[in-house]
A and B are shown apart, each in its own frame.
Chain A
Amino acid sequence: MNKFKTLSLALSGTIILLASSCSKNSDDVTPAISKLTTKTVTDLDGLTTTNVYYSLSTGSQITGADTTTAKWDIKFKGTSIFINSGTSGTGTTQAQIVSSTFETLTTAPTTGYKTDATGTPAISGWYTYTATTEPQHAILTVPGKIIVIKTSAGNYAKVEMISYYKGNPNTTTAEFANLATRPASRYYTFRFAYQGDGTTSLQ
């Protein structure tokens, strides 16, 4: 009887020890989720119009005479993304690229922004060109590159480029790999969250 007691004590002791020493798998840590409204822009047409101007504050495309003002924030031209500053425009927009997922980037950095200059745009490295690797001759967005914009008005926004092709296709399929069936390029799909209150909070 004594032996049984000792054994059961030992067993329960071990179980308690094991249970308390088990730590949560660090893979399960859930990141803080952003609460700002995220707007997804699909298929912004950069094919029929070579230069597409967009305003993050109004969430709309800028056309006509307004393209020479400070009203737009980012401009798409082929595979280049320009911001409204320096050699690209009359405004004072700045940008930088941060390594993160879109959701977990909750605070904009305070320093490290750049304006556009000839030959060195503030936004680069957002895509890779596959050349002769399958899928051939494709522009694929690089994961984890979140563009943080500080607009001419001093407000912050985060932008994630999603696709360069019409309809945001799955780039791993055979249809995409086949140049004949690949959707048209220069149709920009991206999502962004704009913080209108001037703080760096992108939550």
Chain B
Amino acid sequence: MQIKYILCGLAMLLIFHVAYAQRRDTSKKDTAHIKQLKEVVVTGTRTQKSLQQVPIPITRITADEIKQKGLVRLNEILAEQTGINISDDPHGQGIQIQGFDPAYTMILIDGLPLIGRNTGILELSRITINNIDRIEILKGPTSSLYGSEAMAGVVNIITADPTKGISGGAAARYGTNNTADISLNSAYKNDRFYISGFANRYSSDGYTLQPSSGLPTVSPFAGYTLNGKSYYKIDDRTTIKLSVRYYTNDQDSKYLVDNRYAAGTGTEKDFNIAPIITRRFTDKLLSTLQLYRSTYKTKSDVRYENDQSVYDQTYFNQSFNRAELQNDYALKDNLKLTAGAGGQYETVEATRYTKLQSFTSGYGYFQADWLPVKKLDIIAGGRYDVHSVYKSQMSPKLAASYALNPKFTVLGSVGKGYKAPDFRQLYLNFTNAEVGYSVFGYEEAGAGIQRLQQAGQIETILINPATLKRLNAESSTAFNLGYRYKPAGKLYWTANLFRNNITNLIETAAIAIKTNGQSVYSYFNLNKVYTQGIETDMSYQVFKWLQVAGGFQYLQAYDQEVLDQIAAGKVFTKDPETNLTKVIKRSDYGGLLGRSKYTYNIRVNYFNRNSGINASIRAIYRGRYGYKDTDGNGIINRDDEYTKGYLLFNASLSKPLLKDAVRLQVTAQNLLNYKDAQVILNLPGRLIYAGIAYNFNQK
């Protein structure tokens, strides 16, 4: 029975192949020449700029590169980039740029922000990369254009527009842990109109790093992504576009609570809709009106296995609504002005918040892109945000790039970034039932402490909630200086020096001790932190069929107040052998948790034009990072407080068939099966996948 269907399918394939012109599978595009000079980026300025000239450090990843590596989720491709680490946190896999936590990087799809963060972390595996054209990663604060959360940088996933005619395809990847990723897409485009649809299913059995415990490290899940995009050219000057995205994911969970097993399911749903109208009023003036609504909902129901009594039932609903108008005006040939304004309305309602909370905010931004001479590009801009709950923010930015010669461009920028206190830091009302600690947002702290006191649960008050200061936004000032060197088609070398000074960092601190020994925490604008370092990446086309590349980052991330205390001789440690107190020197201080001082990667790619075979192998090294404080001084200093550094090897092999209509792929991640079961949760060991993709295009 099944064989009949397979034969039918194959027959259809053959018919398509014979009857219609094939669209070349894009991964076979000639990669012999690095085309980055002519490539366009949009995220840096919200206008089109050339990658060589844009004065802001930006990395561009093409769909070709993603397909060659056989990667299908956003966390997989970002983990391999120079200067980017995927943080290992039980709340999710988030991105770390220039030493910042995941909460400080904005994730955009087609320029619109994704919502739905768990303790500030946006889970990157939620995003499929099968239907995209490219990813642009911007480093450095860009609150001058994007507002809050764009403090470390911005990751913009740009979806693909269809090619003319009827096109479509299917792709599947299956492998270790029963992880399957299946996509279907189809589109129709003519001169005035296109419509495209995309569907993806991503599922896995999860894995466990502690098989003897009977508990999963990552639980089984199954999720779907549906995307629809439509575009209509009303006339030569006006276009209208509508994008819709729906994502849903169900994940099982299992915990051990006081020697009883509790299990359940968690569901998350993410919905975005964005109608966009652009009108070119004159040759010089282009206006874009963008409406955006995004909702994110989670629900979880976990019960004890033996008697089905409820262990934890929670829900979380967040909505984000925005209207924005941007005007691009080409005042002169060498001076382009951009001005925009918008309003936002956000709400959150959850079991961990006392009632429905909402934010209203408005903003205006301005940017001037000036080329006084052809070699020099100066961009100056700023954004002003007003908010219903916290202080207004002004985020200016100044950037310039200078082409010393056609091969060498120097770029530098200075700017401010900020991150608003989020709903959690303002309104959270949460007690961890298993461990027993409580966390209250700033606005809830007073009422929360009072409630616990009435229930007799407070042993000591450390900080009177009445004395808590109002939370302000975290802010940073950053400097970036670097260059792009492209002496010939074969070599491309970039380097960037960065320094971020962050103030008002919101941290948790204990405000009371409970009778069960656990603490009550709230949020404070506590810290001054700085991150600085250097990042460099080079790729070289050794032969037509062989490309070698490598990248390296050196990072320092320190809490300024800890440094001041160390200088005053007030920070101590215990010698592990004698358990006696010792003073800490500056060289003992390991900096912020989760930051590796050294990371590097080496990439080798082989491509044979005749057979179309592409093989690549990448080595990614992550230096040791501090993950816990065991000597009780609140900082990372002793060797036992670090993980070990580790090296991962990823490889892929692909071959096109049937005149590039079909591509076969084998992908391997973590070939050497490196694990650190006790400490690092997002290394499941060796992962091997086999995949197949089919594309067609009838013009």
Chain A interface (Cβ < 8 Å from any Cβ of B): 27, 31, 79, 99, 101-102, 104, 119-120, 124, 127-135, 140-144, 146, 160, 162-163, 168, 170-172, 189, 191
Contact = CB atoms under 8 A, between A and B. Distances in A.
A172 B460 contact: no
Given A102-B581, A132-B435, A143 B576 contact: no
Contacts of B583: 31, 101, 104, 144
B638 interface: yes
B678 interface: yes
A160 B578 CA distance: 12
Majority SS at the chain A contact face:
loop
Interface stretch (B134-142, B164-172, B617-625, B628-636): B628-636
> Lowest 4 CB-CB distances: which A-B pairs, in order?
A144-B572, A172-B640, A143-B572, A142-B632
Contact of B582 (A79, A124, A143): A143
Interface of B: 435, 459-460, 517-518, 570-574, 576-583, 585-587, 628, 630-633, 638, 640, 678-679
Contacts of A27: 585-587
A175 to B, nearest CB: 13
A131 B435 contact: yes
B579 A101 contact: no
Contacts of B638: 172
Nearest to B582: A101
A103 B574 CA distance: 14
Given A128-B632, A142-B633, A144-B633, A119 B460 contact: yes
Nearest to B586: A27
Contacts of A99: 570, 572
27 contacts: A27-B585, A27-B586, A27-B587, A101-B572, A101-B582, A101-B583, A102-B581, A119-B459, A120-B460, A124-B460, A131-B435, A133-B630, A134-B678, A135-B630, A140-B630, A140-B631, A141-B632, A143-B633, A144-B570, A168-B578, A168-B579, A170-B577, A172-B576, A172-B630, A172-B638, A172-B640, A191-B580
Given A120-B460, A124-B460, A141 B572 contact: no
Contacts of B578: 162, 168
Contacts of A144: 570-572, 581, 583, 633
Contacts of B582: 101, 143
A121 B459 CA distance: 11
A142 B628 CA distance: 14
Contact of B580 (A31, A160, A171): A160
B64 to A, nearest CB: 43
Contacts of A132: 435
Contacts of B517: 79, 129
A143 B581 contact: yes
Nearest to A40: B580
B518 to A, nearest CB: 8
Nearest to B513: A124
B89 to A, nearest CB: 14
A171 B576 contact: yes
A143 B628 contact: no
A160 B581 contact: yes
Contacts of B628: 133-134
A42 B628 CA distance: 28
